[in-house]
Chain A
Amino acid sequence: MPAAAAKRAAELRHSTANWGTIPRQSRGLIAIVAWIAATAAHAVADERPLHQRIDEFTASASLGPAAPLASDADFLRRVYLDLVGTIPDVATARAFLADPAPDKRAVLIDRLLADPRFARHIATTFDVMLMERRRQRALPGSEWTISDDAWREYLRQSFADNKPLNQLAREILSADGVDPALRPAVKFYFDRDGDPDLLARDIGRLFFGRDLQCAQCHDHPLVADYLQADYYGLKAFVNRGLLFDDAKEKKLFYAENADGEVTFKSVFTGEGRDYVLPKLPQGPPVSEPVLVTAEAYVVAPAKNVRPIPKYSRRAQLAALATDGGNDAFNRNLANRLWAMMTGRGLVHPLDMVHSANPAVESRLLALLADELVKMKFDTRAFLREVALSETYQRASEMPTPADLPVDATTAAATMAAWQSQAEKLASELPGLEAAAKSTADAFDATYEKFSTAAAAREAATKAHGETKKASDEVSTALAAAVKDAAVKDDVLKALVEARVKADAAVAKLPDDKPLAEAAAQFKNRANEVDTQLAELRKLINEKQPQVQAASLKLADTDKLLQQAAAELTVARAALDTAEAGARDARLKFRTAQGEAAELAARITAGQAVLDYLALSAAAAQSQAATHAANQHYADVKAQASIAIDELLAAEDAGLAAAEKAADDAMAASIAWKALADNATVRFLLSSFKPLSPEQLGWATMQAVGLVDRQATSLAEQAKKDVEAKAELSPEQRDAEQVRLLDARLEEKLRGNVKCFVSLFGQEPGQSATFQATVHQALFLANAGVVTDWIKPAESNLADRLAKLEQPADVANELYLGVLSRLSTDDEIERVTDSWPATNEDRAAVASEMVWGLLTSTEFRFNH
């Protein structure tokens, strides 16, 4: 609000109200407000449908003003765009608007949730959310990686099967590309080049709603909640991942090693951690099996071999995040699904969850998260409840000030209640902060012990490894010697026998020289072997004690290793306790802080309402004053004898009053706009959502009649193909025919959508923010693809219009076709004025009108 108005408001506030003291008659009201808060807090036990409780929360968290329900037409267009990503065809629109049934909105919601386009639209939304239009990883032979189409089809099928969202997330986070059925899921890692930092950041953002990037080099300078330890705790899960090119299979995989520790140091303080254990944001460090490297692998890493660890940190990440027990994960999903429908997160931006950026209504976010878990992460069921809520169905334009349903007294009471809550919280904060601080220090101390123990164990492992090697060497040497000796021993026996026999023979044939020589031979050889044997025995005798020594030493180091491991486990246990304590205290503190901030925001918004009330009252007053002044001036002028000084004075007074009235009116109207902004943020007023590039493409093709034309031309074939499938029941056939037609339609028109994406989409890797560029406008104005669609042809919209005689019919067909609503009288009038009398001129005018509406703000935005 501009300074002038703010100042004025402040003055008035001072004069009209002093919130410190609460009027007696409102005491009861506070009680009521408190009661609402209480019941809402225990809303978990509440059995009413979720959508009702949603509305209760959004109402109880504001003073208003709340917009009424949107018109049927606005709702129709909105829910089509949000659930199936395009606008309704003319027939559907006409039928819905004419339908008197009170439950027609609910019926429509269910129909759209069952529509095959629902799965694709949600898939597209998740594709853009998860991949942020990153370029497909360019590899030598990109067939090694995952194509955009394969990934999108995987997502589409997942939503078509209504696969639980946590399961989808698990498949993506644990993906390695091995299981053919789940292979496309690994694109999340592929297109980020498996870069641990990029992954740590994006997993934090997309799965936990926390952008920890700024905590990479130091604790986040602006966000107290985001610690460097959180960032690296997350990074530790993916740090062991590696992209693996399998030349044999001609495929890329996302493999994982069994080692690779994460360490960090703050560039500010220089403090850091040498042993970072994987942990989820706000979660405890994961306790891991302590494996010796040799046993760490199912398949050990080697050249051209994809390693498979026994223990996968990534599998842990996937399991821990998605088992329904992780609050950050659940809330992030709930918040993102909510934002898909309402255009804003309860926490906004979606990846800035922290205590200084609290949810508009954290109790509501908690409720949504819990319910999402209860629903077993059923996307359809969840979105259905949101769509059914009045909050979702509210109008996107402000009610007039006259409709503002705020009674000053009630408002004052509610405000007072909020304020006392705020004061209570404020008084608790210091204590909580102190507790957080002391437990954090305690943790640091235990960490020191832990890291010493960890270092000791590392050393012990190393020592053990070396001793083992040495002892193995000596014992193998000994074994060899013994074996050799045995052989030689054998030979010796044989020789001795032979010698004895030979000597005997010599004795019998003393003159036989050769025989004597042979005998001598035996003797000599026997002696040789004998000496060799002696040497061997000597060697063995030397080695034996060495072996014993070695094995003793080994036993010692083994003991040491066991000890070190034991000590580590103890230290680890201590660390975990300390960590749990610190985390708990920290969480309490941060949560309280968050509540305080949330309450403050609520109070500010409430204050804006009161400011407006004051300002508008003042405006009315000064307006009256102006009338009086003018009247006085008129009277003076009417006097028989005009006293010129008096007249001038009266004139000045009149002008001054008018000026003041203008200022007050201005201030009031600005304050009113401020309310509109608050109302949007607090979901009392539906926000304008720019159509996504895909929505814009499909909606445009639907509006001009291109989709219907293609559908008719494809329907015949689809029907044939389905009839060919005898095994299907009639109902199955209908369903299958719809699915088949939708798939072929999408395939046929995909190319056009790409045009829109390339011009209206964000840059790769950036989060989507609305930007209207001159190139988009030029595309819509002059590009052949668009201008061809709006030329009358083959019963497209322009063609249908050109064939109509009555301007009123033209107007209705036109507005139903493009804006999904009936035309107003003034619009019919305008069409009537410009509708040519003669046929030949109508084609051009029809195109002009279609284009005029296609490029209007009403078409460009979802409202």
Chain B
Amino acid sequence: MKCHYACQSEEHLLARRQFLGTMAGAAGGAMIGMPRVVQAALPELAGKRKHILVFYLAGGLSQLESWDPKPGTDTGGPFRAISTSVPGTHICELLPHTAGQMHHLSIVRSVNTKENDHGKGKICMTTGRRQEPVAEYPHLGAVGAKMLAPEQLPLPGHIHISSRGGGGPGSDAAFLGPKYASITLGNGEPPQNTARPAGLSEASDARRNAFRAAANARFARRRRTADSDAFISSFDQAQQLMERRDVFDVTKEPAADLERYGNHEFGRHCLLARRLLENGVSCVQVNHSNYDTHYENFDFHIEQLGEFDRPFATLVADLVDRGMWNDTLLIVMAEFGRTPKINNYFGRDHWGTAWSVLLGGCGIRPGATIGKTNANGTEVVDREVDHGHLFHTYLRAVGVDPALKIDAGGRSIPVADPAASAITELLA
């Protein structure tokens, strides 16, 4: 049912009308398709707004060359482990800058998703559920955009930053609908259609919008529904988004920062992520490609992590310095890890059996190490978890109840797999 609008009534009631209108809307549970539970759970009602920042290391980062090194074993490879800002916690020597930030971060070393396929692994890790033909589930970023973003935020709530791609909204929101689908900024390009068309003057644009507003006002006197209101407000959002287009322009950041992040693509992408978060975008995913190192794993990890380490560590430090850390959940994930066994070509292959995910920030206990793999990393020996546990943990960390049910065209679907549960000892 639609929310109650006490319109058409006396002008002097306007203010209270709207007040009551919203209350009624909340009670009716149909504010632009948003179920009551969600309405109630909106963090904006409970203090500061939360953000989710995902680093997706496409292809599958090697846990042995990063968060769970096994130097000097048959699977360890040539790299050494280095100590970090957390006494007793060691990570791979390829991440010296990150090592200095580990007291803000936590490692889950006991991930077993039992999934070695790129596509399926990605679905597991980004939706918290295994792929089923019967149902598709929304990407973490889409869930975040719905739960964490204010209804009227002009900026997209769910942005991916990649080397390539870009354009229209992606298809990863499932039953949450296109409103929450990711927008990909292909190599830092702003979203499409965000610039006023050439040949349309500002004045002309203003006039046509005034004409639109007048038409809407007249029609509203006949009838208003939540849908018609949502349609109108989408244009207001569009206008605000266009006004704030430079949010997507990383060159607006100080040159000194560009320098600190390293003036290369990934550095710029990390700085852009900071800029987006600072401007209120709820969910940002930075993709770094690629780690699918079936061949010469070690040379490639030197190159990729050599690019990753400094900008990543700089971003963590900046989020802390700028007081955003406690409101930003950071996750470093991939579709899976890589085999402990080194193949004949110095490569490591797909491996979902025993690998690591890095978390930090909002709601996460800093400096923790959860779970353990055995001496040469071939199996989990303590506190085995999978994508489901992680997904619950992400939601709990940003204050969303994983048991929350979302209304999808009449069916109500739990936002996280009810069979799983959060890694509570990791929650702050």
Contact = CB atoms under 8 A, between A and B. Distances in A.
Question: Are A and B in direct contact (Cβ within 8 Å)?
Answer: yes
A1 B177 contact: no
Interface in B145-173: 154, 156, 168-169, 171, 173
Interface in B389-423: 408-411
A766 B174 contact: yes
B368 to A, nearest CB: 34
Contacts, number: 218
Contact of A396 (B212, B223, B241): B223
A672 B324 CA distance: 46
A201 B178 contact: no
A861 interface: yes
B13 A666 contact: yes
B234 A782 contact: no
B410 A351 contact: yes
B27 interface: yes
Interface stretch (B15-23, B298-306, B340-348): B15-23
Interface size class of B (residues with CB under 8 A): 35 or more
B212 A855 contact: yes
Interface centre among A197, A787, A826, A857 (most CB of B within 10 A): A857
A98 interface: no
Contact of B20 (A396, A670, A772): A670
A768 B177 CA distance: 9
A688 B177 contact: no
A774 B214 CA distance: 20
Contacts of A767: 408-410
Given A681-B1, A759-B168, A851-B208, A784 B134 contact: no
A773 B215 contact: no
A852 interface: yes
Nearest to A860: B231
Interface string A828-863: 001000100000000011011101110111101101
B209 A852 contact: yes
Contact of B197 (A676, A784, A855, A856): A784
B348 to A, nearest CB: 29
A665 B9 contact: yes
B300 to A, nearest CB: 29
A222 to B, nearest CB: 8
Contacts of A775: 156, 168-169, 178, 183, 191, 193
A607 to B, nearest CB: 15
B133 A397 contact: no
A19 interface: no
Contacts of B80: none
A777 B183 CA distance: 15
A669 B227 contact: no
B178 A765 contact: no
Nearest to A857: B228
Interface string B174-208: 11011101010000000111111100100010011
Interface string B282-302: 000000000000000000000
B177 A213 contact: no
B55 to A, nearest CB: 25
B206 to A, nearest CB: 9
Given A198-B134, A396-B223, A773 B228 contact: no
Contact of B174 (A211, A688, A763, A783): A763
Interface string B263-292: 000000000000000000000000000000
A861 B227 contact: yes
Interface in A597-615: none
A798 to B, nearest CB: 12
A688 B232 CA distance: 15
B322 interface: no
Contact of A666 (B20, B210, B220, B233): B20
A769 interface: yes
Nearest to A677: B1
A264 to B, nearest CB: 15
Contacts of B241: 774, 778
A485 interface: no
Contacts of A758: 168
A765 B172 CA distance: 12
Interface size class of A (residues with CB under 8 A): 35 or more
A778 B194 contact: yes
Contact of B223 (A352, A826, A848, A863): A863
B13 A665 contact: yes
Contacts of B251: none
Interface centre among B175, B196, B211 (most CB of A within 10 A): B211
A673 B6 contact: yes
B178 A773 contact: yes
Contacts of A848: 204, 207-208, 211
Nearest to A819: B215
A673 B5 contact: yes
Nearest to B154: A774
Nearest to A767: B409
Interface string A189-221: 000110101100100000000010110100000
B10 interface: yes
Contacts of A772: 32, 179, 227, 230-231, 233-234
Contacts of A2: 4, 20, 23-24, 27
B156 A688 contact: no
Contacts of A35: none
Interface string A395-422: 0111000000000000000000000000
A665 B11 CA distance: 12
B326 interface: no
Interface string A751-764: 00000001101111
Contacts of B2: 677, 680
B136 interface: yes
Interface in B1-59: 1-2, 4-6, 8-10, 12-13, 16-17, 20, 23-24, 27, 32-33
Nearest to B410: A349
A858 B177 contact: no
A782 B212 CA distance: 15
A211 B220 CA distance: 36
Interface in A658-682: 662, 665-666, 669-670, 673-674, 676-677, 680-681
Contacts of B238: 774, 777-778, 781
Interface string A705-741: 0000000000000000000000000000000000000
B178 A762 contact: yes
Nearest to A826: B218
A779 interface: yes
B216 interface: yes
B208 A779 contact: no
Interface centre among B6, B220, B223 (most CB of A within 10 A): B223
Contacts of B230: 770-772
Nearest to A848: B208
Contacts of B24: 1-2, 670
A845 B231 contact: no
Interface string A669-708: 1100110110011000000101000000000000000000
B204 A844 contact: yes
Nearest to A831: B211
A776 interface: yes
Interface of A: 1-2, 192-193, 195, 197-198, 201, 211, 213-214, 216, 348-349, 351-352, 396-398, 662, 665-666, 669-670, 673-674, 676-677, 680-681, 688, 690, 758-759, 761-779, 781-784, 787, 824, 826-827, 830, 834, 844-845, 847-849, 851-853, 855-858, 860-861, 863
22 contacts: A2-B23, A352-B410, A396-B222, A662-B16, A666-B9, A666-B16, A674-B4, A676-B223, A759-B169, A763-B177, A766-B175, A769-B409, A775-B191, A779-B193, A782-B242, A830-B214, A834-B207, A851-B208, A852-B214, A855-B235, A856-B215, A858-B219
Given A771-B32, A857-B216, 20 more contacts: A2-B4, A197-B133, A213-B411, A351-B410, A688-B228, A762-B178, A766-B177, A767-B409, A767-B410, A769-B409, A772-B230, A772-B231, A772-B234, A775-B156, A775-B168, A778-B193, A779-B193, A826-B218, A849-B208, A857-B220
